[in-house]
Structure 1
Amino acid sequence: MLEALVILLAAAAIAVPLSRRAGFGSVLGYLVAGVAIGPSGLRLVTDVDQITRVSELGVIMLLFLIGLEVRPARLWVMRRAVFGLGSAQVAATAAALAWIAHLGGAPWAGAVVLGVGMAMSSTAIVLPMLGERALLATRAGRDGFAVLLFQDLAFIPLVALVPLLGGAAMPDQLPLLAVAKGAGAIAVILLGGRFLMGPAFRAIGGARTPEVFTTLALLIVAGSAALAGAAGLSPSLGAFMAGVLLSESEYRHELQADIEPFEGLLLGFFFVSVGMSAQVGLLAHQPVAIVLGVAVLLVAKAAVAYALARIARHDRVDAVRFALALPQGSEFSFVLFAAAIAVGALGRDQAEAATLVVALSMMATPLLFAASERLLIPPLRPRKDVRYDTIVTAPTPVIVCGFGRVGQIIGRILRMQGLPFTALEGDPAQLEVVRRFGSDVYFGDPTRPDLLRAAGADKAKLLVVAIDDMEAALRVVDTAQRNFPNLTIISRARNRRHVHLLLDRGITQVVRDTFYSSLKLSELVLRASGIPGKQAQRAVALFAEHDERNLIETHGFYRDEKQLIQSVQQAAEELSGLFEADQRREKEAGPG
């Protein structure tokens, strides 16, 4: 087992960075690593079942962490998307795929199993894929999550109905024992989360005993999943319920920090196990059928999802993202196919081919989604048909892009010093406001090279990017660097990630929004709390210096969220040590 673990870790360490660097995300890297080391590849690891059983904990922990982010009030708000859009997606996709499978020669019982199984999408693939691109908060991300949640809820009833397709008779009465077990498990999770988990954390002293706190956190996740599984429910559903119940707890952030490292590693192993379980040999024996099956699955699911998204009034960008996030099969598909084989509703040969189609669709989805973000989404973004100002002023040494709160202050100070500048603003509403106060500003989109050239960018010395939208600001920087390499660029940054993206482009003169105002406000708070003025100034200066240094140090790995979180925690400890050392020096120096 130790040797297999070393091979798994080595394969992931090689494949995942290469996949991320190529822009395809980490999921594809894990899947390719699994194929490479599995029975269909180099055969370095062959015990796929054992690895799959362990790695399924990653999916369970993922659902628990999602539950922590979904407050009960938010869950209630999402009810229409979950049960409306979710049920429509499953029903319409299953019907379309079942009809296609029947046309392909499958009997109706097997076609229905294939349709329902392939209608499911992979939570473990979709959510990390959207999360890596910061799309979970978009309309496409929210509705994608709602559909996946409905699929989790619907999976158990669908598995229970499979025996009917194999010719089993409808039971004369409800299976009251099974229903009671399921209801009892839900009640235990709900009541335990409501009344027992909080006191349990307080009894162990909260986060002050880290190893016991982590143990209890893992116990809650594994225990909720095991309880749901023992009652015939989805283990991931039990973990999700526990997460939702703890989302209002004061320990939510500590729980998230403790579970995330385990979730990330085990979820990666899950994707590796999916790659290992793919019987790639079938592709050599039935290349046309398998490739055609993958193409039909991806196209049919994406088409149905796009149509439903447009019916739900998504714009074109969100509809495309929603459609291309969900076209793959699911880990649940494998379970459904196995259940169908057991009752004779699906032939083993058909199930093996369908399993390979699902696995290949999982590998193809990150590629398709990455390609769409690069090639399809940009042309679909709405473009306003506006008429920009014609710039007739003589070239100036400074161009200010964005004349909102930040740009106006820069402009006023430049005027005080008698320095001429050209100001560009792309928001008509903002333009109307500043012109009422007598500011001479041109209406135009500074991401366009022709407008920058008209503003004198080929002769100017300095470009100030004061736009508040991060993506637009980065496009201005890219346009300026590509077309006017003579310009020195100074940029406003919305947050730390924006700073890192600017550093990627070689922009080092960057000022973060609210950073200096927050420092000044902190100094006032310290003084109002009774701390002497010099000591308050020194504390704020120490923090500012340390924070700026940490910002530069984390640039090398800012895309690695886990390493970034660890670095932030280490920086907090280091900063506390610096404050303590500074206070000791102050005491030793004495008054005066």
Structure 2
Amino acid sequence: MSAPNALFSETILLLGGAVVAAPIFKKLGLGTVLGYLAAGVVIGPIFHGITDGEQILGVAELGVVFLLFIIGLELKPSRLWQMRRDIFGLGTAQVMLTGLALTGLSYFSGVLDWRGSVVAGFGLALSSTAFAMQLLDDAGEVNTKYGQRSFSMLLFQDLAIVPLLALITILDGGSGSNAPLLDFAIAVGAVGAMIVMGRYLLTPLFQVIARTGAREAMIVAALFVVMGSASLMQFAGLSMAMGAFLSGVMLAESSYRHELEADIEPFRGVLLAIFFIAVGLSLELDVLIDNALFIIAAVPIVMAVKAVIIYGLCRVSGSSHDDAIRIAFLLPQGGEFGFVLFTTAGAAGLMSFSTASLLVAIVTLSMALTPLGAALSKRMMKGEDHEELDEDFEGAGADVLMVGFSRFGQIAAQILLAGGRDVTVIDFSADRIRQASSFGFRIYFGDGTRKDVLRSAGIEKAKIVVVCTQKREITDKVVDLVQAEYPHAKLFVRSYDRVHSIALRNRNVDYELRETLESGLLFGRRTLEALGFDDADALEIGEDIRKRDEERLVLQVTGGLQAGRDMLFSQPVRPEPLVKPKRTMDFDEDPLAGTADVTADA
């Protein structure tokens, strides 16, 4: 079979395995991750449908890269600074204590010498960011306290890969590199370059692209930024995932954050699924069979040691029992960076390649057992009350999601902000975002007619969705989408005109208002006052007009636009002096004597 045909067939197998396995395992309550692993084992080691699992794994690791980029988008630099104690305190303690404990076990097992034991111990101390974050995402608990603490440890582990790779160079006598200080300087310089580019180049780049209105260019730019930053970090000797994470953090305060997250999410989901399948593909059943007794003993011991140390550290650092149990059962597995360490150590002669393969098998099997462990952890919880969401993420916990920052929306937002409520605002106009930023407003670039953008903007947590777009067709699309996908959210909608108001009421929105109604009523009142009317009389007339306008709308919803015609005024009220009118005057919209609506946009 030709190479292109083979690639096509392998792609079909991977996608087909994901389609079949994920729903089945999700339905059984085992999680999609375990389903992808099972699909990989069936396709590869059992039926030999795909034999080059390691090559696929290399490509599918982009899923981890995209995952870290999205996580970075959700972390403002200020929030990252607040997490520094968990990252550098709890994270350092976890890697050091777990690494030393597992180093001791490796040495006393008699399989490795002290140098190989150090590599094995610290390699097994690292956990899988892909597995842990996917499990958190499936459960919707990424933003919980325990989710953030888990991520802090994972982030430090990603940072630790750099000194651990340098440690291999030291242990093998320095043959791997002749200039470790130069390598360190290059890594620091690359991080500095990422920070500078993120602060001064990325946002202007997306502003230029957004003004063109080319959706595909926005997606391509997002992919370019993620993969470019990942490649830069890899060149500097750091992990690709770390580069993507840094670029995400640099864009976390950008107005384009939600749009970028929505653009990247489909690629992240597909590639991460293929990553888990590839882990299953690379599982060497021969190694498992030949060393079955050793692996059966080693895997639970490694996972137990990590879980106990993590639980103790979390309790000491202030976590509740339930949160510590969750974290301990979420992070006991080996990580994908262990593959890198063990392979590098084998090439450096610190361990045999057969031992490296055995360690890779232990890591892979521990990954496969993690979803089961996470499910079993619930039996050990006490049901303690704890805060579910960390509200420190900008927009993530906002009660109000505003779609469209028109002049109407700007005024409404002022009322909400003055009332002390957080508002997440998205708009699809790059110029409006730039203008708003000049006045100190924080709004995000995003297309409110896209489900993925609404989800990224936090609609699942919003109590009210305020639609303030300037075009009727756009407003209708947003309303239909929200009602179909997020029926829990109340809809408050700015209508285009009276006809639009009637249509929105027929859609059963919770509240609608024509932009010109209140301003027209106020304008009329002020005009009456200028003509000599008493303020109280003018106010009473205005309130009566508002009341009867509402009554007419109710009639028109069921009886059509012509309903309530008799409530219109075509002549001034007599006699004078003015008394409270028995019929209301409405000059704003209805047809008069069969003619067209004189001001249909009111």
Which TM-score bucket, shorter chain as reference?
0.5 to 0.7
AA matched with 1:226: S
- Of structures 1 and 2, the larger Rg is shown by 2
Which residue matches 1:310? 315
Which residue matches 2:21? 15
Corresponding residue pairs, total: 420
Structure 1 residues 137 and 22: CA distance shift in structure 2, 3 A: same
Distance 1:224 1:213 in 2: 17
1:110-149 equivalences under 5 Å are: 110-149=116-155
Which residue matches 1:281? 286
AA matched with 2:157: Q
1:48-447 equivalences under 5 Å are: 48-105=53-110, 106-168=112-174, 175-206=180-211, 208-373=213-378, 375-377=379-381, 380-382=382-384
Which residue matches 1:539? 504
Cα drift, residue 129 of structure 1: 0.1
AA matched with 1:73: S
Distance 2:487 2:263 in 1: 30
Distance 2:19 2:357 in 1: 30
What percent identity do the matched residue pairs reach? 39
3-state DSSP of counterpart to 2:237: coil
Structure 1 residues 214 and 546: CA distance shift in structure 2, 3 A: farther
CA contact (8 A) 2:169 2:176 kept: no
The answer to which of 190-199 and 70-79 deviates more is 190-199
CA contact (8 A) 1:68 1:243 kept: yes
AA matched with 1:74: R
TM-score by length of 2: 0.65
Distance 1:63 1:239 in 2: 6
CA contact (8 A) 2:76 2:253 kept: yes
Structure 1 residues 62 and 383: CA distance shift in structure 2, 3 A: closer
AA matched with 1:273: A
Which residue matches 2:452? none
CA contact (8 A) 1:113 1:346 kept: no
CA contact (8 A) 1:206 1:213 kept: no
Q: Which residues of structure 2 form unaligned runs of 5+? A: 1-6, 387-459, 464-485, 513-559, 562-589
Distance 1:61 1:383 in 2: 33
The answer to which of 280-289 and 352-361 deviates more is 280-289
Cα drift, residue 543 of structure 1: 5.6
AA matched with 1:119: A
CA contact (8 A) 2:462 2:489 kept: no
* Residue 29 of structure 2 is aligned to residue 27 of structure 1: no
AA matched with 1:107: D
3-state DSSP of counterpart to 1:204: helix
Structure 1 residues 589 and 258: CA distance shift in structure 2, 3 A: farther
Structure 1 residues 314 and 203: CA distance shift in structure 2, 3 A: same
Structure 1 residues 287 and 201: CA distance shift in structure 2, 3 A: same
Structure 1 residues 277 and 589: CA distance shift in structure 2, 3 A: farther
Which residue matches 2:523? none
Residues 30-51 of structure 1 show CA distances to partners (whole Å, capped at 9, x for unaligned) of 111111111x211000112321
CA contact (8 A) 2:176 2:348 kept: no
Cα drift, residue 315 of structure 1: 1.1
Structure 1 residues 535 and 227: CA distance shift in structure 2, 3 A: closer
Point out the structure with the larger helix share.
1
Distance 2:82 2:196 in 1: 22
3-state DSSP of counterpart to 2:61: helix
Cα drift, residue 339 of structure 1: 1.1
Cα drift, residue 3 of structure 1: 0.6
Distance 1:177 1:347 in 2: 29
3-state DSSP of counterpart to 1:205: helix
CA contact (8 A) 1:207 1:213 kept: no
TM-score by length of 1: 0.66
Structure 1 residues 10 and 514: CA distance shift in structure 2, 3 A: closer
Give me the CA root mean square deviation.
3.0
The answer to which of 281-290 and 209-218 deviates more is 281-290
Structure 1 residues 28 and 347: CA distance shift in structure 2, 3 A: same
AA matched with 1:376: M
Cα drift, residue 352 of structure 1: 1.2
Which residue matches 2:597? 591
AA matched with 1:9: L
Structure 1 residues 513 and 214: CA distance shift in structure 2, 3 A: closer
CA contact (8 A) 2:135 2:371 kept: yes
CA contact (8 A) 1:182 1:228 kept: yes
Cα drift, residue 190 of structure 1: 1.4
Which residue matches 1:41? 46
Residues 432-469 of structure 1 show CA distances to partners (whole Å, capped at 9, x for unaligned) of xxxxxxxxxxxxxxxxxxxxxxxxxxxxxxxxxxxxxx
AA matched with 2:167: L
Cα drift, residue 157 of structure 1: 1.4
Structure 1 residues 512 and 45: CA distance shift in structure 2, 3 A: closer
Which residue matches 2:441? none
1:575-590 equivalences under 5 Å are: 590=596
Distance 2:309 2:283 in 1: 26
Q: Which residues of structure 1 form unaligned runs of 5+? A: 385-492, 497-510, 548-581
Cα drift, residue 353 of structure 1: 1.1
